[in-house]
Amino acid sequence: MKKAKFFDKFQDKLNERQLKTVKRMLAEGYKGFEGGMNAGKYISLNRTSKSTATRDLQDLFDKGAFIKKGGGRSTSYLLNL
């Protein structure tokens, strides 16, 4: 139920890379992304540059789709379900 509400709220607001990331995080569950999503994982998943990864992750946080955990170089993000 939470997944459906999440997609209803954010699906039209996410770019292709962000949508791919969210779907993968939901499919893997908590154990698949233990510690949350970070720039390194985002780069590996989407094959993108560090600046694009950082920008996309910050955008997901600004839209309310992600919750920020930590800060600086150790920043990671969790889904805001």
Q: pTM of the prediction?
A: 0.86
The residue extents of the domains of the chain are: 2-79
Nearest to 36 by CA among 70, 1, 72, 73: 70
**pLDDT of amino acid 48:** 96
Q: What are phi and psi of 37, to 5 degrees?
A: -90, 135
State the CATH architecture for 2-79.
Orthogonal Bundle (1.10)
Q: What is the pLDDT of residues 65-77, one digit of tens each?
A: 999 998 888 899 9
With 0-12 / 13-18 / 19 or more C-beta atoms within 10 angstroms meaning exposed / middle / buried, residue 37 is: buried
pLDDT(58) > 90: yes
**pLDDT of amino acid 32:** 62
**pLDDT of amino acid 41:** 94
Q: What is the pLDDT of residues 28-55, one digit of tens each?
A: 876 667 788 999 999 999 999 999 999 9
